[in-house]
Structure 1
Amino acid sequence: MDVTAPSAPARRGTPEHASGIRLLDPDLLADPAGGYGRMREQGPVVRAWLTDDRPVWVITRYDDVRAGLRDPRFASSPAAVPGHTGEDPRKPLLDMLGLPDEVLKYFMVSALDTDPPDHTRLRGAVQGAFTHHRMQALRPRIRQVAAELLDALPAKQQDGTVDLIEEFAYPLAITVVCELVGVPASHRAPFVRWGDDILSMDPELLAASSPAVIDTVHELLDERRAAPADDLLTTLARAADERFRLSDVEQVAMVLNIVMAGYDNTAQLVANSIAALHAHPAQLRRLTDDPALLPDAVEEFVRWCGPDIMVRMRFAAEDIDFHGTRIGKGDAVQFILVSANRDPRRHPDPDGLDITRCTADKSDGHLGFGHGIHYCLGASLARRVCEVGLAELLARHPRLPLAVPACDLTRRVIPGAAPRLTTLPLELQRSTTPSGPPH
């Protein structure tokens, strides 16, 4: 059996395909919370289309997503499906990026797309760098970086405004993540350029920037083999000879995943949190009145406006009866985080922003960082960067005066991700600290 072909497939031109939900539909990409929310209320599992000939089951409700992400019957790689043959269903999506063949192989060995025992081996090689204790120890450095960036804002202003995405959120995340990994400032430009090119989905740009970032990672790993340091690069450089036995390709892929996903998602969480407070002045006042609410507020930001709307695609390793729907062996399954996090079955007033939401039960109550064995490795780091970064920003600019109304902030649509804010213009001349809490 060719398990890449789902059971009872509908092909182009059939009534199901003609009227079916398209995951790359522009309206859905522009409003994933609303679009997947409507899908959630249609039923516990909905048939949709990823591409013209790639159907996928979409699971949207909180309890189902949480349980599914822990269910070993939903494999992360089609290779884990018994009897797998044929093309990897993920490859057509990667082909859309037009990545050169020598780069594409690094995308196919991600820990996010593997199952035990390979996943255990890959994650085990790096998880020691992301312990809660180590992340807490980074707080002073995060605070220092945030303070330095804020000190520099007046010199960066144009006509009294400065872009908090370009001058605060991204440089804060890039600096902290790269220092943790061990990427010196002199080597960060290729990563930033490559990240921008991936988001642009421009094959010509990626063809030029991809080899440069791969070469940079190889160079850094070679340097750590010759001169070890206290960083993640050294851990990975040693992993080839220790019990985890990472291959050269796996080492490079791990660096790319941690740096690229780490800084982009963290920066977007910071930016989205700022925009959320700008759109909800009562919540902003509550937070500035009581900064001790920041840890809870960050959890609510992850739930309400986290940068990930779904996890990587899963595949049914066997026939599964899911709420009366047969998901056939080899079928593609997409678990949706953004709809689970706004499921009224789990959260009262799910579309409202409430920075005290998790205070009562002292649990995060969301799936913004995923769940199960693929729970986001950098979740603790993202939390710390967002919490400390917002604390420093609000201490200096408690009114958070942006130059445009919340409804006029522009976002760029990225397939598979939440729409990315393009700018957050802070008005510095209206950012002086008031004598009392802002009301």
Structure 2
Amino acid sequence: MTRHDESNSGRSRRSYLKITGVIGAGALAGCTGGGGGDGSGPISIGAPAAQTGQYDYLQEGCTRVLELALEQINEAGGPLDREMELLLRDTAVNPQQARNVVDQMTTVDGCEVICGLFSNEIPANWDFLQSKEVPIVTYWPGSRFLDTRGGDNDTPDDLSDDEWVWRTIISDSVHTAGQAVNAAARGYSRVGTINTATEGERSWMTGFTDAAAAVDGVEVVNSIEVESGASSYQSGIDRLHNEDFDAMVMSFAVEDAITAIRDFASGGYDSALLMSDGLKHNDLVNEVGGDLPEENFAALAGASGPHGDQLISDFDEMYDTDSMGDDNHPWAISAYDSLTVTALAIHSAGEYDAAAIQKNIRAVTSPGGTEVTTFADGKEALDNDEEISFQGAMSNVNFTPKGDVSADTAIYSGTDGSWEEQDPVPAADIAAVLESDDYEVSE
């Protein structure tokens, strides 16, 4: 069985750390070892990943956090006192490839739970994923598609109405509303929006537009959608600026954003720039920091969970970084929560079985039990017959019946080569927008 490349791990992995990195579903013939419910052998967790494609720059940080969490889980003896391993497989963020990978993991590799999947992979495969009846605990999808889908519908002992998807990252609805609140607070009363025609970027922008309609003092005066991968976005930016506005709101992947920001600067525009969550990355400020307008703000899921600082400290020690470096982004932080929740749910279930795990996901995260932030502490409490409430790094992981979590929205401003953190938008202020009578979700 091919092993994950450890060249970037910062130190050698111990023998018990097993993250399997195989590119593509077709390369998995003969690669089994899920252990299933027989009580022996390693517990294999399916981990679809963006090892290639336009989001691979974010996957590295997620993979490193998964390595860290996995090491901590196995140091504590693993769920059910069994070693746990990850089958890290590339989907290239392609819905069909993701379907093939999940099918391989569940039918060949014996995986009873999946840790991963992106916004544009889940909606396209929704019926297929439901037919699998395997819990998916994912750190990726902000997609608003999941605002009304997922979880256990508040019937943990009745699987008939379960929708099997849980996410430890906040919904795009949350941090898009946070960006709209941020726009109002900074006096940007008229905004123009531009996004690429991809699921994640479109979802983010639709969320922002819906939130802006419910925030006093913010009006969207023009909107443009462009294709990703273009060599220039000058034409789209010019068309957007046919209307006068205070701030341009951009939802692109990083490489496209680098091109667009250069075009924006060369066009001589002087509006402020509001950016989507994935653009808070050092690749962007290292490439075009000098071309950013003075007033620029990225809004993203804020790591407001009680374990956030400890995760950063553990990561820095393991990989010799400072504040996680380029890997300090929401998806990496929520990856810790996803894998730890998964391990605790398996141990609480008492068996490695999809239905039993599904029934225990909210059991180990709901308020009221002994609060724990690591697998080791949670396992000890469970072994002492205590109820537990896992408190994560991204949030307190109090899942809603639809499998969602809530957190603050973090605001960052980019300069030439660095990001400066601004005051966050509190979760309570965002909730006021989302619960407003003026907030209507676009179809």
Choose between structure 1 and 2 for higher RCO, CA contacts under 8 A separated by at least 6 residues: 1
Write 1 or 2 for the structure with the bigger share of strand: 2
Query: TM-score, normalization: structure 2?
Result: 0.26
Query: TM-score, normalization: structure 1?
Result: 0.26
